[in-house]
Amino acid sequence: MTDSTTCFSASDIEAMSKGFRTNFINSLSGFKAAALLGTTDGTTNNLAIMSSIVHVGANPPLLGMIMRPHTVQRDSLGNIKRQGVYTLNHVHTSWVDKAHQTSARYESNESEFDKVNLTPWYSNTFSAPYVAESAIKLGLKVAQHFTLCNKTEMVIGEVQQVFINEKYVDAEGYANIEHAGTACISGLDSYHSTSQIAQFSYAKPDQPLNKR
Amino acid sequence: MTDSTTCFSASDIEAMSKGFRTNFINSLSGFKAAALLGTTDGTTNNLAIMSSIVHVGANPPLLGMIMRPHTVQRDSLGNIKRQGVYTLNHVHTSWVDKAHQTSARYESNESEFDKVNLTPWYSNTFSAPYVAESAIKLGLKVAQHFTLCNKTEMVIGEVQQVFINEKYVDAEGYANIEHAGTACISGLDSYHSTSQIAQFSYAKPDQPLNKR
């Protein structure tokens, strides 16, 4: 450790201004997926940028997300509770501005699709709207929904449909989301492209890693 | 939608081989934080690569992670249950190989720190080991711990300590993890560096976004 490293204690963090602390803590969890949450109340389509998505399991295929019920996410969460289905659509590096603009506080009867100029698209067999411009689109139904210790809500969804060009999926099942143009997020408002450093083989004790 | 986009249904996903499905679903959640989980049983220090970290809240400062109790994460999870504290240490783009090698199935009495050649470091006031080489180090204590619908376990920790060079933290609290060299992950085994595209101001309806 060099002298230039600072220790922020729990009381230092508590003493930060609300805005400073929000930016600081949101940065520290590392890079985050950038996806748009698509929902509908049957009349108005809702679109919301999400950065708190987490892989829960592959069999069954489950993704979790943390939602804040008293924020701009209120309408999306209400739609999920009523409809039981939603979509997650990867944000492309070429339109991160449109994705971020969905975080503005629009009226409940206004569709963020219209406001940010993204296109709703429907599959024949799923009632929540997808984002046509997304190279990777997931349709999910709610598998579990509960409240966490800080009154945020965790929604776990089971993947029902995946739309992706097979050219991005290799022989082992890995989907090359970098080639598909997927962006990532840090903090509340910073968007990033990526460059692959390495992809490794399954690690075994006392054997050198191979790249694959 | 172009003709080249394929729809994978729930039954298509169920019919995939285990390995293919695991790679596929793990890729679809988007880019993920790359952090090393540091724990101890009092004798042996454990270090495990984590890619399922999620921001839960800023006040109090809470991070969640999904853990698999019947995998190589077993020892780390046992240490967390017994000790109640753990560290999360950002993985630097220059040593993603060492980070990935921690996923090998070492014996319970072997320390991954030794095996992958990373250095345990302790603060005076925290009993779990940090990774000296990490530019951003977080010390957490368990705030909530429960089992999810697929028998994985979610651990939510409250941040007790943050070690970071203040040169990475801007006047608004944003920690520039890209400048700090933090890597990100896609799928199970692909590591990436990032390039910032844009950082935006708070979005408001019917106003153009500003970069900040």
CA-wise closest residue to B180 among A26, A198, A99, A28: A28
Domain boundaries, chain A: 26-192
Which residue type is seen at B47?
L
With contacts defined as CB-CB under 8 Å, which chain A residues touch B8?
Answer: 161-164
Burial class (CB in 10 A: 0-12, 13-18, 19+), A43: exposed
* A26-192, CATH topology level: Pnp Oxidase; Chain A (2.30.110)
With contacts defined as CB-CB under 8 Å, which chain A residues touch B182?
Answer: 30-31
DSSP state of A187: T
Burial class (CB in 10 A: 0-12, 13-18, 19+), B166: exposed
Q: Print pLDDT tens along chain B (212 aa).
A: 455 899 999 999 999 999 999 999 999 999 999 999 999 999 999 999 999 999 999 999 999 999 998 888 899 999 999 999 999 999 999 999 999 999 999 999 999 999 999 999 999 999 999 999 999 999 999 999 999 999 999 999 999 999 999 999 999 999 999 999 999 999 999 999 999 999 998 999 989 898 88
pLDDT at site B97:
97
Beta-bridged to residue A36, according to DSSP, are: A49, A89
CA-wise closest residue to B166 among A122, A24, A65, A166: A24
Looking at chain B, the whole-number percentage of residues with pLDDT higher than 90 is 92
CB pair distance less than 8 Å for A57 and B24: no
| Separation CA B177–CA B190 (nearest Å) | 19
CB pair distance less than 8 Å for B182 and A30: yes
pLDDT tens, residue by residue, A49-96: 999 999 999 999 999 999 998 888 899 999 999 999 999 999 999 999
CB pair distance less than 8 Å for B143 and A123: no
Helix (H) or strand (E) holding B15: helix B10-15
Distance from CA of A80 to the nearest CA of B (A): 18
**Which of A56, A167, A172 lies nearest to residue B66, judging by beta carbons?**
A56
Whether the pLDDT of residue A3 is over 70: the answer is: no
CB pair distance less than 8 Å for B202 and A189: yes
**Which residue out of A50, A66, A186 would a mutagenesis test of the B interface target, given it has the greatest number of B Cβ atoms within 10 Å?**
A186
**Which of B6, B56, B173 lies nearest to residue A152, judging by beta carbons?**
B56
* CATH hierarchy code of domain B28-192: 2.30.110.10
pLDDT tens, residue by residue, A19-37: 999 999 999 999 999 999 9
**Which of B23, B51, B209 lies nearest to residue A101, judging by beta carbons?**
B209
CB pair distance less than 8 Å for A53 and B30: yes
pLDDT tens, residue by residue, A10-22: 999 999 999 999 9
| Separation CA A41–CA A110 (nearest Å) | 12
